[in-house]
């Protein structure tokens, strides 16, 4: 296989994307008030806003759609999905949901408790939102190295800091910690993996204190591939052996199947605890649909049953992880500061190191999102002062997040490395003229601060090379 370094698929169907002019893009940016979420997708040349629900399905998945059994109860498609999930997770009970956040909601209703702590590496927004509604205290205990976007490469920047976890347990008492949630890979700091050793040790510590462990498994296959590549003792294991061991350390897992499930919609709630299952099924019936479809069509269940298996295929994962690395390497060659090593589902550009002259209060990463779209029609997303900034409820002062990045999420099986070159070349040029850029001002937020990135409106401070015409 020495020469077989190209994609392990060939392309059967294509979707046209539009090339646009800079003047057009500047106009659309203005209309969207410089918010990527407010743009029309048809005006985007390469869309890297998310890797969620954007995968290309295989011919096997498209043909599986035709087998969809749309029976309300006891659908044949459910049992196929159940078997596929059991095979990869090694857990018995499966409740589908319409997407990941619905599984998060069910999980939060079962495991988050008012006034009690939910420890995580970095909780994803959708669980955090649910936890906050319940009144739980969601704390991020990722290792310090994972929080520092300029830290040297480390194989597992998604790991939970066991010392911090132990300290909280001893200070607050185990009865005040209702759950530990390990998100694999850790989305908010670069798609960084969690090691098997860390999952094992976190689980042992939690077990000692009777605290249940949940895995947020949106990117389970990418995490398993990193374990195989980077952790001693796993080099000769199959990806499924690794995923089953990962889940052997938890009671329950949630999954947004829009990522490593290689489908465009869907979620999963998976557990080994039959009491937990019963509650999950009741919540699913109220909020999602009957237990054997969970808000999805039979055809969606079919496509997911197949997609999960394709997602853990090692040849696919090798291509997948290497494409993201390819983009990271091209950017590094051009001096662009990124989180290293590159993670599973995208490249995260460090906004503060890219634009050191733009303070966090003027949204450096968001400015970079705007510059990248303006120059090349590429849409990325900010994970920084806009998405995770907040106002102190008492003083009204701005609170800024530790991670300040632009995420370039790479969709699965969608773009070629020529697309990656376009992104790298454009960012390289922007980096060359980085001093010309100035920051942005937030002029509209929307009613809920924690969701402001979807609705925010900005104005640009004029660039320093702008010509002022005197009258
Ligand atoms: C991503 C997304 C999609 C997203 C969701 C909300 C705000 C912005 C973007 C979704 C995840 C995720 C993890 C670890 C649960 C969900 C929710 N990620 N856990 O990265 O990454 O899943 O979208 O299917 O409801 O762009 P859902």
Q: Where in the chain is the domain with CATH 3.90.1150.10?
A: 22-44+314-460
pLDDT tens per residue, range 87-124: 999 999 999 999 999 999 999 999 999 999 999 999 99
Ligand 1 near 264 CB (within 6 A)? no
Q: What would the mean pLDDT of 183-188 be, rounded to a whole number?
A: 97
Q: What angle do CA 302, 305, 306 make, to 5 degrees?
A: 95
Say what the pLDDT of residue 464 is: 67
Say what the pLDDT of residue 393 is: 76
Ligand 1 near 382 CB (within 6 A)? no
CA distances 254 to 223, 286, 344, Å, are: 15, 18, 18
Beta bridge partners of 138: 118
Query: In angstroms, what is the span from residue 462 Cα to ligand 1's centroid?
Result: 34
Ligand 1 near 187 CB (within 6 A)? yes
Residue 123 falls in the annotated catalytic set:
no
State how far the Cα of 344 lies from the Cα of 229, in Å rounded to an integer.
12
State how far the Cα of 96 lies from the Cα of 281, in Å rounded to an integer.
10
Say what the pLDDT of residue 283 is: 98
Per annotation, catalytic residue among 424, 453, 456, 458: 453
Ligand 1 near 183 CB (within 6 A)? yes
Say what the pLDDT of residue 450 is: 81
Domain 22-44+314-460: top CATH class: alpha beta
Confidence of residue 408 (pLDDT cuts 50, 70, 90): very high
The per-residue pLDDT of the chain, averaged, comes to: 96
State how far the Cα of 351 lies from the Cα of 370, in Å rounded to an integer.
12
CA distances 302 to 26, 97, 112, 280, 305, Å, are: 42, 14, 32, 22, 5
Choice from 122, 256, 410 to test ligand 1 binding pocket (greatest atom count within 8 A of CB) = 256
Ligand 1 near 451 CB (within 6 A)? no
Sheet containing strand 177-183, edge to edge, reads: 93-97, 267-271, 252-256, 213-216, 177-183, 117-120, 137-140
Residue 259 falls in the annotated catalytic set:
yes
* Both tokens assigned to 256: 């947004």
Say what the pLDDT of residue 63 is: 98
Q: Which CATH architecture has domain 59-311?
A: 3-Layer(aba) Sandwich (3.40)
Q: Where in the chain is the domain with CATH 3.40.640.10?
A: 59-311
Confidence of residue 448 (pLDDT cuts 50, 70, 90): confident
Choice from 50, 100, 344 to test ligand 1 binding pocket (greatest atom count within 8 A of CB) = 100
Say what the pLDDT of residue 395 is: 86
Query: In angstroms, what is the span from residue 50 Cα to ligand 1's centroid?
Result: 9
Say what the pLDDT of residue 396 is: 82
Give the Cβ contact number of residue 82 at 10 Å: 19
Residue nearest to atom 26 of ligand 1 (CA): 50
State how far the Cα of 120 lies from the Cα of 117, in Å rounded to an integer.
10
Query: In angstroms, what is the span from residue 126 Cα to ligand 1's centroid?
Result: 7
Q: What would the mean pLDDT of 347-351 be, rounded to a whole number?
A: 98
Residue 72 falls in the annotated catalytic set:
yes
- Is residue 173 within 8 A of residue 219, CB to CB? The reply is no
Say what the pLDDT of residue 132 is: 86
Q: Report percent pLDDT > 90 for the chain.
A: 91
CA distances 345 to 46, 93, 187, 319, Å, are: 15, 28, 8, 12
Query: In angstroms, what is the span from residue 184 Cα to ligand 1's centroid?
Result: 12
pLDDT tens per residue, range 244-272: 999 999 999 999 999 999 999 999 999 99
Q: What angle do CA 337, 341, 344 make, to 5 degrees?
A: 110
Residue 7, CA atoms < 13 Å, CB-side half-sphere: 12
The dihedral formed by the CA atoms of 120, 125, 126 and 130, expressed in degrees to the nearest 10: 70
Ligand 1 near 216 CB (within 6 A)? yes
Residue nearest to atom 22 of ligand 1 (CA): 100
CA distances 148 to 198, 317, 404, Å, are: 19, 27, 10
Residue 329 falls in the annotated catalytic set:
no
Residue 392 falls in the annotated catalytic set:
no
Q: What would the mean pLDDT of 14-21 be, rounded to a whole number?
A: 97
Give the Cβ contact number of residue 78 at 10 Å: 24
* Both tokens assigned to 469: 């015409």
pLDDT tens per residue, range 287-334: 999 999 999 999 999 999 999 999 999 999 999 999 999 999 999 999
Ligand 1 near 125 CB (within 6 A)? yes
Confidence of residue 40 (pLDDT cuts 50, 70, 90): very high
């Amino acid at each position: 296989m020495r020469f077989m370094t190209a994609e392990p698929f060939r392309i059967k169907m294509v979707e046209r994307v539009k090339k646009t002019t800079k003047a057009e893009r500047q106009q659309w940016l203005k209309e969207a008030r410089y918010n990527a979420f407010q743009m029309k997708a048809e005006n985007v040349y390469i869309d890297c806003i998310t890797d969620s629900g954007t995968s290309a399905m295989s011919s096997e998945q498209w043909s599986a759609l035709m087998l969809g059994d749309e029976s309300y109860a006891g659908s044949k498609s459910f049992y196929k999905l159940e078997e596929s999930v059991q095979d990869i997770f090694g857990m018995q009970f499966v409740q589908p949901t319409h997407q990941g956040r619905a599984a998060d909601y069910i999980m939060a209703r079962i495991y988050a408790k008012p006034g009690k702590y939910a420890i995580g590496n970095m909780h994803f927004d959708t669980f955090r939102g649910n936890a906050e509604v319940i009144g739980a205290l969601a704390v991020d205990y990722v290792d310090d190295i994972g929080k520092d976007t300029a830290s040297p490469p480390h194989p597992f920047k998604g790991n939970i800091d066991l010392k911090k976890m132990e300290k909280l347990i001893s200070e607050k008492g185990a009865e005040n910690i209702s759950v530990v949630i390990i998100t694999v890979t850790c989305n908010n700091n670069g798609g960084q993996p969690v090691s098997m050793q860390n999952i094992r040790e976190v689980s042992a510590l939690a077990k000692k204190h009777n605290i249940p462990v949940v895995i947020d498994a949106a990117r389970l296959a990418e995490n398993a591939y990193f374990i195989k590549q980077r952790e001693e003792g796993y080099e000769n294991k199959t990806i499924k052996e690794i995923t089953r061991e990962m889940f052997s350390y938890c009671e329950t897992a949630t999954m947004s199947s829009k990522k490593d499930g290689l489908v465009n919609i869907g979620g999963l709630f998976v557990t080994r605890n039959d009491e937990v299952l019963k509650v999950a099924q009741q919540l699913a019936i109220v909020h999602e649909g009957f237990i054997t479809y969970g808000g999805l069509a039979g055809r969606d269940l079919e496509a997911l049953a197949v997609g999960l298996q394709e997602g853990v295929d090692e040849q696919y994962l090798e291509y997948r992880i290497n494409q993201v690395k390819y983009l990271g390497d091209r950017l590094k060659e051009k001096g662009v500061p990124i989180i290293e090593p590159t993670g599973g589902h995208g490249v995260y550009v460090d906004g503060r190191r890219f634009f050191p002259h733009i303070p966090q209060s003027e949204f450096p990463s968001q400015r970079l999102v705007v510059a990248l779209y303006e120059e090349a029609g590429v849409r990325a997303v900010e994970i920084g002062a806009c998405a995770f900034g907040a106002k102190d409820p008492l003083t009204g002062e701005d609170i800024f997040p530790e991670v300040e990045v632009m995420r370039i999420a790479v969709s699965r099986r969608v773009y070629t490395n020529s697309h990656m070159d376009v992104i790298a070349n454009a960012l390289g040029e922007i980096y060359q003229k980085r001093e010309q850029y100035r920051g942005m001002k937030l002029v509209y937020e929307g009613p809920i601060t924690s969701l402001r990135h979807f609705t925010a409106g900005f104005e640009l401070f004029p660039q320093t090379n702008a010509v002022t015409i005197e009258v």
